[in-house]
């Protein structure tokens, strides 16, 4: 796996990309019912192997690292957030090698997973997702009596238990992926899975300004560059490859000249077109938003004509 951390460059391993929308735990659609699979924008319509597989596990930790090999001393290749359904490839001792919905693979400690019994978590019934950067899940509908059971990140999905909690609409009871139950404040979640417009996506991106850079990160607790752009495109209803170089080469995008850039276009940086090491999203007025360690680590807005970006830009792409 080729690794480059300069400027917070994206993950670059030559991992094959096959759409696996059936497993995607953050699918976007209309309100309050378990979302159906969206179209695979720009991808082949032929069946993909991972689309035919049922998930074997669901993530029960707030965010779990996915490692290159089954060891916490190994490099982190990506992450899977709470309630993500994953397919088992193989197991080794206390580790499971899994495949996520974007066809990315990595090793996760088995303690961070719960084995499923034939059905995806949050696949049926009423479903909400965390609509803030994070949300606390409590063991009872009270924020003062006990510490939260768990704090989960943006996009995490939860199954809603039917019925009203108390005399107000402040709380929802939820079934948790570990088999237990808890309560979330209704202001922290949303049943609206509507696909965002470009303008709404850019507004969403700005909500994460200042979120720290984390190598391999794919959650609101810390993204890397390609994890950040992948998340934004997901809210446009598009499942895109995980790594920056694969994103630029993906069939779901088309090349764009610098002079023709429009908000929502993806920018790719590197030493040359065949060595892409960073990505961001153009937001208009000569600016782009990205997660980087350059200057200061975290999600930030930069000017494309400024150094070093103006000389490092090697490609721009527009989703089809």
User: Average pLDDT for residues 190-216, to the nearest whole number?
Assistant: 97
Q: What are the extents of the domains in the chain? A: 18-115, 127-190, 198-319
Share of the chain above pLDDT 90, in %: 78
State residue 45's pLDDT score. 26
pLDDT at 310 over 70: yes
What number of CA atoms fall less than 13 Å from residue 126's CA on the CB side?
11
pLDDT at 32 over 70: no
Entry pTM: 0.84
Q: Is the dihedral of CA 119, 103, 288, 199 positive or negative?
A: negative
Q: 18-115 has which fold?
A: SH3 type barrels. (2.30.30)
Q: Residue 8 — pLDDT band, cuts 50, 70, 90?
A: low
Q: Residue 22 — pLDDT band, cuts 50, 70, 90?
A: very low
User: Average pLDDT for residues 255-274, to the nearest whole number?
Assistant: 95
pLDDT at 14 over 50: no
State residue 42's pLDDT score. 31
Q: What is the pLDDT of residues 142-195, one digit of tens each?
A: 999 999 999 999 999 999 999 999 888 999 999 999 999 999 999 999 999 999
User: Average pLDDT for residues 205-218, to the nearest whole number?
Assistant: 97
pLDDT at 300 over 70: yes
Q: What is d(CA 302, CA 284) in angstroms, rounded to the nearest whole number?
A: 11
pLDDT at 41 over 60: no
Which of 19-33, 87-101, 266-280 is least confident?
19-33
User: Average pLDDT for residues 265-286, to the nearest whole number?
Assistant: 95
The answer as to CATH 2.30.30.40 being correct for domain 127-190 is: yes
| Backbone φ, ψ for residue 318 (5° rounding) | -120, 130
3-state SS track over the chain: CCCCCHHHCCCCCCCCCCCCHHHCCCCCCCCCECCCCCCCCCCCCCCCHHHHCCCCEEECCCEEEEECCCCCCCCEEEEEECCCEEEEEEEECCEEEEECCCCCEEEEEHHHEEECCCCCCCCCCEEEEECCCEEEEECCCCCCCCCCCEEEECCCEEEECCCCCCCCCCEEEEECCCCCEEEEEHHHEECCCCCCCHHHHHHHHHCCCCCCECCCCEECCEECHHHHHHHHHHCCCCCCCCCHHHHHHCCCEEECCHHHCCCCCEEEEEEECCEEEEEEEEEECCEEEEEECCCCCEEEEEECCCCCHHHHEEEEEEEC
State residue 47's pLDDT score. 29
Average predicted confidence (pLDDT) for the chain: 86
pLDDT at 48 over 80: no
pLDDT at 35 over 70: no
pLDDT at 46 over 80: no
Fold match, 18-115 / 127-190: yes
| Backbone φ, ψ for residue 305 (5° rounding) | -80, -5
State residue 24's pLDDT score. 37
**Cα→Cα distances 19→23, 112, 288, Å:** 9, 24, 27
Higher pLDDT, 234 or 47: 234
Superfamily of domain 198-319: endopeptidase domain like (from Nostoc punctiforme) (3.90.1720.10)
Q: What is d(CA 308, CA 185) in angstroms, rounded to the nearest whole number?
A: 44
State residue 77's pLDDT score. 97
């Amino acid at each position: 796996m080729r690794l480059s951390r300069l400027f917070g460059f994206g993950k670059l391993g030559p991992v094959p990309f096959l759409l696996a929308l059936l497993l995607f735990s953050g699918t976007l659609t209309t309100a309050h019912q378990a979302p159906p699979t969206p179209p695979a924008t720009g991808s082949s319509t032929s069946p993909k192997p991972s689309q035919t597989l049922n998930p074997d596990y669901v993530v029960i930790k707030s965010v779990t690292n996915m490692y290159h090999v089954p060891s916490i001393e190994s490099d982190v290749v990506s992450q899977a957030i709470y309630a993500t359904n994953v397919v088992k490839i193989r197991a080794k001792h206390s580790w499971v090698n899994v495949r996520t919905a974007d066809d990315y693979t990595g090793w996760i400690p088995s303690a961070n997973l719960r084995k499923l019994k034939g059905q995806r978590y949050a696949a049926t019934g009423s479903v909400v997702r965390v609509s803030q950067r994070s949300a606390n899940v409590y063991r009872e509908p009270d924020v003062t009596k006990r510490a939260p059971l768990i704090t989960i990140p943006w996009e995490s999905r939860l199954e809603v238990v039917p019925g009203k909690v108390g005399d107000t609409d402040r709380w929802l009871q939820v079934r948790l992926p570990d088999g237990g139950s808890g309560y979330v404040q209704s202001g922290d979640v949303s049943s609206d899975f509507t696909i965002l417009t470009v303008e709404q996506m850019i507004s969403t991106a700005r909500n994460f300004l200042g979120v720290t850079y984390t190598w391999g990160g794919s959650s609101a607790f810390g993204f890397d560059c390609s994890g950040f752009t992948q998340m934004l495109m997901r809210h446009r209803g598009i499942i895109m490859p995980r790594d920056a170089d694969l994103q630029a080469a993906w069939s779901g995008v088309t090349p764009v000249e610098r002079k023709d850039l429009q908000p929502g276009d993806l920018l790719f940086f590197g030493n040359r077109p065949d060595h892409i090491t960073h990505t961001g999203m153009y937001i208009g007025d000569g600016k782009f938003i990205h997660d980087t360690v350059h200057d200061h680590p975290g999600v930030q807005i930069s000017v494309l004509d400024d150094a070093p970006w103006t000389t490092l830009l090697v490609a721009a792409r527009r989703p089809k």
